[in-house]
Amino acid sequence: KAGVTQTPRYLIKTRGQQVTLSCSPISGHRSVSWYQQTPGQGLQFLFEYFSETQRNKGNFPGRFSGRQFSNSRSEMNVSTLELGDSALYLCASSPRSSRVGYEQYFGPGTRLTVT
């Protein structure tokens, strides 16, 4: 079974621009979560989507948004980029099922650099 895939793997953007990151979960997984990882703040939860609905949201400004499609693929968008948005963005998928379990499986991440 293929793992979680994220595209692109690396991205360089300029302040003020916007960016869209993509995540394809493991087949059959309906939950997709996004995390931001920086050296200073560590791993922080952004939001989770389940069956195309945002179920949980972390403490990030409204510039960070996401969506999930009917095939469970998810996109994350950051508008008006700031230097502090430079980070590794990780996507995780989960069956989110009492029958199969709640374990999260992470993708390799997208390294975003804002200049």
Partner 1 sequence: KQEVTQIPAALSVPEGENLVLNCSFTDSAIYNLQWFRQDPGKGLTSLLLIQSSQREQTSGRLNASLDKSSGRSTLYIAASQPGDSATYLCAVSYDNYGQNFVFGPGTRLSVLP
Choose among 82, 57, 71, 85: nearest CA to 24: 71
Nearest to 91 by CA among 56, 50, 45: 45
Structure tokens at 69: 């499609």
Q: Minimum distance from CB of 42 to partner 1 (Å)? A: 5
Residues that bind partner 1 (CB under 8 A): 4, 31, 33, 35, 42-45, 48, 50, 55-56, 58, 88, 90, 92, 94, 96, 101-109, 111
- Nearer Cβ to partner 1 (10/80): 10
Nearer to partner 1 (CB atom), residue 35 or residue 64? 35
Tell me how far, at minimum, the Cβ of 23 lies from partner 1, in Å.
11
Query: Other CB atoms closer than 10 Å to residue 100's CB: what's the count?
Result: 11
Provide, rounded to whole angstroms, the least separation between the CB of residue 34 and partner 1: 11
Q: Beta strands 110-114 and 10-13: pairing type?
A: parallel
